[in-house]
Structure 1
Amino acid sequence: MAEPQVNPKAYPLADATLTKTILDLVQQAANYKQLRKGANEATKTLNRGIAEFIVMAADAEPLEIILHLPLLCEDKNVPYVFVRSKQALGRACGVSRPVIATSVTIKEGSQLKPQIHELIPRLETALGKFSRRDRAEVIQPVRTTLPLQKHGGFLGVMPCYMEMDRILCTKLVSFYKRPSGSTLPSTQATVLLLDPERGNVKAVIDGEVITFMRTAAVSAISAKLLMRPDAEVLAVLGTGNQAKSHYDVFTEVFQFKEVRVWSRSKDRAGAFADSLTGRVTVCESVEAAVKGADVIVTVTRSTEPVLFGQWVKPGAHVAAVGACRPDWRELDDTLMKQAVVYVDSREGAMAESGDVLLSGVEVFAEVGDVINGTKPACREKTTVFKSLGLGVQDAVSAQLIFDKWKSKTN
């Protein structure tokens, strides 16, 4: 039986040997998750400048539905070729891959700390993508929060999809207003990393380490962008896990001549100082801790202001991490109104930040705007960065951990 004729518009057409080579490459690309399928996806990759090779089926009906691709390939200087059979191409594109079902648990922050200089640039890129509001790159709604009134807590759900990075992730985080002296953690979290193509859970990761380290890393990014270049004194208000991660990250990324620490409990402050590798000064009052400080990090459980503007040095930078509810505060009105206010997410701040909502101040910019160059860094002025945490931060952090885990197990 004669082989069916191929539409002459399907040019160039690969011969049998080249077709086998191409389909082997397609299968390999599928295995490594480097394959995009369908005319729409091919068009997207060409327009975004990430396509390396386009393969089309000569028996597509009607062929005209894909004939825009050769023209676009030529315009973008990307090689392309036709193979005879859509069925053969479909089999290669649909290679069955084993579902990854793993459980990755990292309990010690030190396991992520050596990677902080790798994590920070990933977070900077992610924050920039988020602030562009391009849904083709990042889809991330504002955190959904479920109140647990009987227990004084909340459950937060933080999903994120990064299409270009092929990351689908969600974090479940519980946070509680603990009574003074409680030994229970105020925050606990679990991160689920999923396969965006198949929908299965690839990894279940202890979210506490991710939360502590990515939060501190983003605070460090805000300081890099907004603090004065001659900053010498760091003050940390709080002595919990976030205080520890912020101390670790800030002293690794920056060179401060003096670090001060304050806690409501003198015993906790002393124990915290003893747990650190570097020298710190334990202060008996917030005023003593922040007077003359160039950078101030607030990581307290407070629901009422603990940091007052009259104590803050003009031109200081404040990274405010606590008070993640619309009726909780760490900073007073004076400080909020005299500062240029930056946030990680405008929508998040207007839904969750008591420091922003109750003071009535205007948010000047997201840190992602500064990274993108669309808003200036007002280093000469007093600045406040209100951190609430983003799903995109958890997503890139979880992917980094998962990639490191895979490299060790393969």
Structure 2
Amino acid sequence: MDDHGPHRGERSGAPADRPDGSAAGRDPARPARTGALTLSDYTGTTRGRLSRLNLVMFLPLLAAVGALLVATDAETWWQAAVLGLGVVAALVAFVRWAARDVSRVALPCLIVTAAVWAFGALVMGTDTAFYGISIVGPLTVPQLPRHRGRAALAVTAYVAAVGAARLLVTQEPLSDVLISYVIVPAGATAVLTGLMFPNQRFYGLVVELEEAREREAELAVIRERMRFASDLHDIQGHTLHVVKLKIALAQKLVHSDTGRVEQELREVHALVSDTITQTKELAYAQRRLNLSAELENAKNLFEAAGIRVRVDREAEVDAHAGELLGQVLRETTTNILRHAQAAQVRITLSESGITIVNDGAREAPPPELRGLATLRERVAGNGGELTVEQEDGRFLTAAAFPHGRSDTAR
């Protein structure tokens, strides 16, 4: 049967772009056919929103806590400068982490905050100097490409080791030093680092979801392009074949029946004009197949080709199924004219289905039915069934939408 090229997806109803660049009723959630958003556009937008959310929610809080600790623990201006340097390094690391670019400042910030913690614990005698490293460590370790577990243990061990070294420079009770300089700082660093690993996984899931969204958008565009190309093929291929038949008939009659030749040429002219109109309607997403019009057109074509045609209307066709049934009728009409030596065709319409039977089918196995196979997918996708059978020189094409399901056919 007729080869219809690429498989068509379900009719999405999305219009083609107008020549002026505007779109007729395009869903804004779908990418345009030209200049479609890329994966980096999608992920960049989502990450940008998450970055702003993190900065708005947490940056003021971290800055306020750091300023409070500096004001509480620093006794001189140079102590305030040292502790403030650790807070600033922590804030810089957080800002770059929110921008997904913490690796650029990871090492300097780690060195600064590690030095501030050592200075605070061993020189100043303040147990809150670990504030900076307890932020920078958890932000940077999960971003490492490998050995993240070892790096987390190393940061935690460093915090604990510096705290334990406090015992070498102070006469404070052992229990107080262990709690204030070892257990609390190391525990806080370990817990925060552990919590950042699920956070890193969350960002990975965001990327995966955006990739899925991008793939879905690309598939939607591909389906729409294939639908448009297939519908354009339906219009142009059907018309060109009919024009070919009519011109061949006119050539045979040019010397014997000029009146009939003039009539055929007028019909060719009208057919071409109608095809131009349908092509414009398709381009502007206004084209809708009318089953009654397709039925009349098929009848005229069969009669012009010398094929007897009988139409039985058992019931009015369901309006929702009419468009797909019109496509089945058009495809079948073209196939009969092109590939069969039919003498008669019978078309039966029911409330939710159509059956076309013709004789003159070749005795050989039927050719590949790519056009009807595509329609079978579309009909099945809308809750219907398309049947194609060949037996004893007869060829049957039937499409039906069961009651209660035809309302999905669009």
TM-score, length basis structure 1: 0.20
Larger Rg: 2
Identify the structure with bigger relative contact order (alpha carbons < 8 Å, sequence gap 6+).
2
> Which structure: greater strand fraction?
1
- With normalisation by structure 2, the TM-score equals 0.20
